[in-house]
Chains A and B, each alone.
Chain A
Amino acid sequence: MELYELTIHELHEKLKKREVSSVEATRAFLDRIESVDPRVNAFITVTADEALKAAEEADRRIAAGETTILTGIPVALKDIFLTQGVRTTCASRILDTFIPPYDATSWVKLKERGAVLVGKLNQDEFAMGSSCESSAFGPTRNPWNLECIPGGSSGGSAAAIAAREATATLGTDTGGSIRQPASHCGCVGLKPTYGRVSRYGVIAYASSLDQVGPMTRDVADCAIMLGAVAGYDPLDSTSIDRPVPDYTASLGPEVTGLKIGLPKEYFIAGLDPDVKKTLDAAIDTYKRLGAEFVEISLPHTDYAVATYYLIATAEASSNLARYDGVRFGHRAKEAAGLIDMFARSRAEGFGAEVKRRIMLGTYALSSGYYDAYYLKAQRVRTLIMHDFLQAFATVDVILTPVAPTPAFRIGEKVNDPLQMYLSDIFTIPVNLAGTCGISVPAGMSGDGLPIGLQLVGRPFGEEAILRAAYAFEQATEWHKQKAQL
């Protein structure tokens, strides 16, 4: 097996035993990126020199016996995480040349443990999208089929795992942006509970929904990465001061007696036959392992997409007001006065999807429409949250599809934003409820595209979904499938 195909725990064993060095592993990834990324386009920036320096330092730490599970492990970050001295674009022309003066807390935590950054990953511009097509740096392609989208918005973070260009990556998830690309690319992706991971230094999209999470080759790696980045951060006033459990210790093959809820609103007639088949087979696997299934109802599911696109765009219109061409970012050359400079800089710097969402959000917050749209959506959000709380009174985890179809073709939904928005129907409710969800490889379409299943847990119930995901993974072979490139 090539070094770039190993999991964190496998590579860690080899590093610890000094069978390989971090410099060798890092070189293997840099070579791999050079050979496959012209086709995949998962990376916006490759940090080869910095990576090799960090790998040398990691090798010194390993030699000195100061090894953590992440020491010397090559990782990559969605280009939404600020990295001091390394260009961070959020896949937008408006931040084309932005060099952050400080690091995101989640990157600080990985770096302190000795992880090696090989580069910054492509995404939808400002994390607004479900396909990675809205990037100013061109679309990322799905390593399983280069004509298909990798999902979004963390499409580069998922594609880099599937193309074996990093051992593990971090993404962000506002309405499904970790879980949906994980499903489409056949990797593991976890959106933690709101407040579980610090968002300091993560470029804001919709602040009441955004959350940072890991994307990995298997569930054990996911537990390792979550354990590293989770925890209270005084620099993020929305992070929660609550102990971080040992997620790795919570993994086990046992699910006997686990009560799994199947929400009837998610198993609808329009579900793609391959997705349906995958879910049915997964349910059988869990039954064989001794889990119990309970039919539940999340009655307000059908209102989630509308609720999300009002709340998320309203918050986005406010968050993106900071891009004004004054303190950082692109400034228009020709302008008749200050206001005109703002309007032109933003017109030149933002892509179509970002403009569309700023427009929608501004409209929803504007005088005369605030109560009818934004406040109404916040009230429906309460109903959606209650659906989940009620369900968790009788079940331990909830099993659902991640996306209604496998990855679609590049260009297929670009001109129909509403159709694109509806592809997030099964992931959005989890963000609105503020709870946690994981996508795990569970099957393959007739066309050879991966399909994931989603497990949703109680708020701060990451251990339960990791455990249930691990048991499924141990009983199946889907996570071992490899995209041919």
Chain B
Amino acid sequence: MKITRAEVEHVARLARLELSAEEAEIFTGQMDAILAYVDKLNELDTTGITPTSHAVPVENAFRADEERPSIGTDNAMANAPDRVDGFFRVPKVIE
């Protein structure tokens, strides 16, 4: 086994993803098969190989720090599920 049901449930908590018991069961089997497959990368000796994060080298992209028009609060909040007075409203964080 590459991954256990308990590990799958732990990862789901890290990912902020509520899984049903059935989903956790199915994902355990499927992730196990996929992780067993990706293990084939260990056939390759990659000592001293530089990791590639972007195929085309990209330097930090800077621009002048100048004021520009923005989309504004109303536009930025138009899709919010719940808002009040220019704030996003969420369930109580601290009891």
Binding site for B on A (CB under 8 A): 97-99, 101-102, 193-195, 208, 234, 237-238, 240, 300, 302-303, 305-307, 309-310, 317, 321, 324-331, 335-344, 346-347, 350, 352, 355-356, 358-360, 362-363, 366, 373, 375-383, 385, 417-418, 421, 432-435, 459
What are 10 A-B pairs with beta-carbon distances under 8 A? A195-B56, A195-B58, A306-B40, A325-B81, A328-B79, A350-B17, A362-B11, A380-B44, A417-B30, A435-B55
Contact residues of A: prevailing secondary structure: helix
Question: Within the complex, which residue of B19, B55, B90 is in contact with A341, where a contact is CB–CB below 8 Å?
Answer: B90
Tally the A-B contacts, defined by beta carbons under 8 Å. Answer: 169
Contact with A along B9-31 (1 / 0, CB 8 A): 00111111111100100010011
Question: Within the complex, which residue of B20, B63, B76 is in contact with A101, where a contact is CB–CB below 8 Å?
Answer: B76
Q: Contact at A380–B79, with CB atoms within 8 Å?
A: no
Contact with A along B73-88 (1 / 0, CB 8 A): 0011111111000001
Q: Contact at B58–A317, with CB atoms within 8 Å?
A: no
- Chain B contact patch, size range: 35 or more
Name which residue of chain A comes closest to B43, CB basis: A303
15 additional contacts (CB under 8 A) given A346-B17, A359-B15, A421-B34: A303-B44, A307-B41, A326-B90, A330-B81, A337-B92, A346-B15, A356-B27, A359-B11, A359-B27, A363-B7, A379-B46, A379-B51, A385-B52, A418-B33, A433-B55
Name which residue of chain B comes closest to A207, CB basis: B54
Chain A nearest Cβ from B37, distance in angstroms: 6
Q: Contact at A238–B54, with CB atoms within 8 Å?
A: yes
Q: Contact at A359–B8, with CB atoms within 8 Å?
A: yes
Q: Contact at B18–A381, with CB atoms within 8 Å?
A: no
Chain B nearest Cβ from A21, distance in angstroms: 34
Question: Within the complex, which residue of B11, B52, B58, B79 is in contact with A378, where a contact is CB–CB below 8 Å?
Answer: B52
Beyond A343-B17, A417-B30, A434-B56, whether A379 also contacts B50 by CB under 8 A is yes
Residues of B within 8 A of A317 (CB): 15
Most A Cβ at <10 Å: residue of B3, B20, B55, B76: B55
Chain A nearest Cβ from B3, distance in angstroms: 7
Rounded to whole angstroms, the CA-CA distance of A277 and B32 in the bound complex is: 36
